């Protein structure tokens, strides 16, 4: 298989400065709503990239659960590798890729923990099985086999049967507050449109980047 021969010419849309919102949060909202309308698969899936205390980068797909002008929120186990990374180095990035629209968004900033009340509010809204799963899984720890995980799930299912499942202490959310955005629209001939937003003196400056 010749992987180098795999290519796609992007022709759907363009992105011009005159079309872009003055505020990157508004631009994100517009594109996110368009992605929802286009029925993009897993529209709220994003790659969260962190860096360990040793300078080793790591990325994984997580789900966006809320966004507003204060930032972008997601949830995880605080004792997971990403939790350990963020405890040592709060700088992180988010990447959205929506191939159906030939678009990508990159967001960089600082991640901080949500309050316990905010985390509990979201946890309580989750399906019962997902709540139990948060207790059954010590995220990223090595286990012997699938059976071990299923047995733990069954044990906690029995423990919390017919009760409200409490939020585990080590489970909660983060909010990434951005200081940089980049909106990428695929164009023909690899002459893609790239607009960046960088905050300077508490205001957002838009710049066009070479593809």
Map out the domains of the chain with their CATH numbers.
Answer: 9-123+170-208 (2.30.110.10)
202 has a pLDDT exceeding 90: no
Q: What backbone phi and psi angles, to 5 degrees, belong to 14?
A: -130, 170
The 10s digit of each residue's pLDDT in 117-128 is 999 999 999 999
Quote the pLDDT of residue 65. Answer: 98
Q: How much of the chain, in percent, has pLDDT values that exceed 90?
A: 94
Instruction: Yes or no: say if 104 and 194 are a contact pair by the CB < 8 Å rule.
Output: no
The 10s digit of each residue's pLDDT in 81-140 is 999 999 999 999 999 999 999 999 999 999 999 999 999 999 999 999 999 999 999 988
Active site residues: 190
What 3-state DSSP class applies to 21? coil
Global pTM reads 0.93
Closest CA to 197 of 188, 184, 206, 189: 206
Mean pLDDT computed over 13-24: 94
């Amino acid at each position: 298989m010749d992987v180098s021969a795999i290519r796609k010419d992007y022709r759907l849309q363009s992105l011009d400065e005159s079309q872009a919102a003055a505020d990157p949060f508004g631009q994100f909202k517009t594109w996110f709503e368009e992605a929802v309308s286009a029925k993009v698969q897993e529209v709220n899936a994003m790659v969260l990239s962190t860096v360990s205390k040793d300078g080793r980068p790591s990325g994984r797909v997580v789900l966006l659960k809320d966004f507003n002008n204060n930032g972008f929120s997601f949830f995880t186990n605080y004792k997971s590798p990403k939790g350990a990374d963020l405890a040592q180095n709060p700088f992180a990035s988010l990447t959205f890729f929506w191939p159906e629209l030939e678009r990508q968004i990159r967001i960089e900033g600082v991640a901080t923990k949500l309050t316990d009340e905010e985390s509990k509010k979201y946890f309580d809204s989750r399906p019962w099985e997902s709540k139990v799963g948060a207790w059954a899984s010590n995220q990223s720890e090595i286990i012997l086999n699938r059976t071990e995980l299923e047995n733990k799930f069954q044990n906690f299912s029995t423990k919390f049967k017919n009760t409200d499942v409490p939020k585990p202490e080590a489970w909660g959310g983060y909010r990434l507050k951005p200081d940089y955005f980049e909106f990428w629209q695929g164009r023909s001939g690899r002459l893609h449109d790239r607009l960046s937003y960088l905050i300077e003196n508490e205001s957002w400056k838009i710049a066009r980047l070479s593809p």
